[in-house]
């Protein structure tokens, strides 16, 4: 145990620079005999004096009556704006999970994350419930959000199951995330490094708090968090026992990737709105599914344009010269317009930048993937369908199950606008997580891969059967 802990501490990075407790100005002292005596006890917040996040430059610790968003949104220990729009109205979440919350940041030079007024990236949160089941769930923010983005859709539920929970901002945030790093692709590459760093540190923090070794560690996330899950299980499988990939982003140097299909959507959407059948067909040919048209009017201004421009800037900053992330909503034909971007014709340096972060399918632990059939940001045909094939080609199909959720979209926030055409993904994610745990811990085979049909009756917001 001591040898394992020293090894993980070394991997986590530099020693803790400064640690203060919420409500005090004193540094955390070495645990007293009385504190050491409570190791393993179930008393409220026992062991918090032992908690020192390895490698962190700063941390604060709070003993809370409720670690879920029902409590943290009131106490100020989460940021609801970071998880806005990710869940459907009517989602029922558990609450009343007492325990310890650790907030802090690892050493970093970028300052995009302004949460807590820290103006410091690589922020993290670790939550340690009083009643622990022996497990840890690690995640990273979707999109370019902060470390609390998964609190409502993932954190609340896994904490109520008894898991410790750790989440990172991935090392950079916001629409200007591409400023981080010295070379194209560096900002995204840092995401993976920060997840590994937090996983190692969180394992040690859990051992400090509970005085017991972890039994299970799971990696999970949505969108870019799903990408992180895939990458960790491919490249750091020894840190985890399994993972749930909720519509992870696919980066492939030779395609497909965001930059191979979003330009076609941007280029053709204006003509499609004018009634052009050819433009409509071109968007479908790019990978967007027939039947998703009712979502295009939302995705064009909210997702397609911004996503193309900021990720193109991350991997191919020379395309638009001195501009940063191009010209919003530029018309095709405008110089350096992202609607006219052609990934296949760009210099070799561009796919080389993507290659830094690309996925291969070589997962080393069990993983379940979920993807909505109406995902209109990451269409399944350009993403998880391809990734399933990659996994099979690598001979890892036995470790993977893939569920296509009929009428699921990229985020559940639009469900209330189209309740007759969409279904929330969150309840299916929770079912998948339970099946993963049963697969890993009891050897129960998960539901076979396939289409999960939309039920005709029942509570779609809070229930989902994969079988």
- The string of pLDDT tens digits covering residues 428-449 is 999 999 999 999 999 999 999 9
How many Å apart are CA 64 and CA 200, to the nearest integer?
Answer: 24
CA distance 30 to 49: 8
Which of the residues in the chain have pLDDT under 70?
1-42
- Do residues 38 and 63 make contact, with C-beta atoms less than 8 angstroms apart? no
pLDDT on residue 213: 87
pLDDT of residue 415: 98
Per-residue pLDDT at 467: 87
- Which among 465, 429, 369 has a CA at the least distance from the CA of 158? 429
Cβ 83 vs Cβ 151: under 8 Å: yes
The pLDDT assigned to 12 comes to 47
Dist. CA 170–CA 350, nearest whole Å: 22
First to last CA, the chain: 40
Burial code of 417-449, b = ≥16 C-beta within 10 A, e = fewer? eeeebbbbbbbbbbbbbebbbebbeeeeebbee
Q: Report strand pairing: 99-105 vs 135-140.
A: unpaired
Cα(24)–Cα(63) distance, integer angstroms: 13
| Phi-psi label, residue 174: left if phi above 0, alpha if psi -120 to 50, beta otherwise | left
Bridge-based pairing of strands 123-129 and 99-105 is antiparallel
Q: Is 359 helix (H, G, I), strand (E, B) or coil?
A: coil
The whole-angstrom separation of Cα 261 and Cα 386 is 14
Q: Establish how many alpha carbons lie within 13 A of residue 100's alpha carbon, considering only the half-sphere containing its beta carbon.
A: 28
Instruction: Give alpha helix (H) positions in 22-127.
Output: 33-37, 69-75, 80-83
State the pLDDT at residue 42.
63
Strand order in the sheet with 58-64: 18-19, 58-64, 99-105, 123-129, 164-168, 135-140, 216-222, 242-246, 367-372, 400-405, 450-452
Q: Note the Cα 110 to chain centre separation in Å.
A: 20
What distance in Å separates the CA atoms of residue 331 and residue 49, rounded to the nearest whole number?
Answer: 58
Q: Is the dihedral of CA 272, 275, 276, 277 positive or negative?
A: positive
CB 205 within 8 A of CB 48: no
């Amino acid at each position: 145990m001591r040898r394992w802990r020293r090894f993980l501490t070394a991997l986590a990075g530099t020693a803790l620079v400064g640690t203060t407790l919420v409500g005090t100005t004193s540094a955390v002292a070495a645990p007293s005999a009385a504190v050491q005596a409570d190791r393993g006890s179930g008393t409220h917040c026992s062991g918090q004096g032992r908690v020192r996040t390895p490698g962190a430059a700063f941390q604060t610790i709070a003993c809370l009556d409720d670690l879920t968003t029902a409590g943290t949104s009131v106490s100020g220990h989460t940021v609801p704006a970071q998880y806005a729009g990710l869940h459907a109205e009517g989602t029922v979440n558990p609450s009343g999970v007492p325990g310890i919350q650790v907030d802090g940041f690892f050493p970093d030079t970028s300052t995009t994350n302004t949460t807590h007024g820290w103006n410091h990236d690589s922020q993290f949160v670790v939550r340690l419930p009083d009643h622990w089941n022996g497990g840890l769930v690690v995640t990273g923010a979707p999109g370019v959000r902060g470390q609390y983005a998964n609190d409502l859709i993932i954190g609340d539920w896994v904490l109520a199951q008894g898991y410790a929970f750790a989440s990172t901002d991935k090392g950079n945030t916001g629409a200007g995330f591409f400023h981080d790093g010295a070379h194209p692709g560096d900002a995204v590459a840092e995401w993976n490094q920060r997840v590994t760093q937090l996983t190692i540190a969180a394992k040690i923090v859990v051992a400090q708090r509970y005085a017991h070794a972890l039994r299970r560690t799971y990696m999970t996330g949505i969108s870019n968090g799903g990408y992180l899950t895939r990458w960790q299980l491919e490249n750091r499988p020894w840190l985890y026992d399994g993972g749930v990939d909720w519509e992870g982003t696919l980066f492939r140097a030779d395609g497909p990737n965001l930059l191979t299909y979003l330009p076609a959507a941007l280029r053709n959407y204006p003509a499609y709105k004018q009634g052009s059948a050819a433009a409509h067909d071109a968007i479908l040919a790019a990978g967007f599914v027939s039947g998703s048209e009712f979502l295009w009017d939302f995705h064009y201004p909210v997702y397609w344009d911004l996503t193309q421009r900021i990720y193109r800037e991350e991997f191919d900053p020379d395309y638009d010269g001195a501009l940063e992330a191009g010209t919003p909503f530029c018309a095709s034909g405008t110089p350096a317009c992202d609607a006219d971007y052609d990934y296949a014709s760009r210099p070799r340096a561009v796919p080389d930048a993507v290659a830094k972060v690309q996925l291969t399918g070589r997962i080393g632990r069990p993983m379940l993937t979920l993807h909505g059939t109406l995902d209109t940001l990451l269409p399944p045909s350009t993403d998880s369908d391809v990734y399933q094939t990659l996994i099979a080609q690598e001979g890892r199909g036995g470790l993977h199950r893939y569920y296509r959720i009929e009428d699921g979209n990229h985020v559940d926030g639009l469900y209330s606008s189209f309740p007759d055409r969409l279904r929330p993904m969150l309840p299916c994610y929770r079912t998948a997580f339970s099946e993963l745990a049963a697969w890993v811990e009891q050897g129960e085979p998960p539901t076979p891969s396939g289409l999960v049909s939309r039920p005709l009756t029942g509570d779609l917001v809070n229930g989902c059967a994969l079988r």
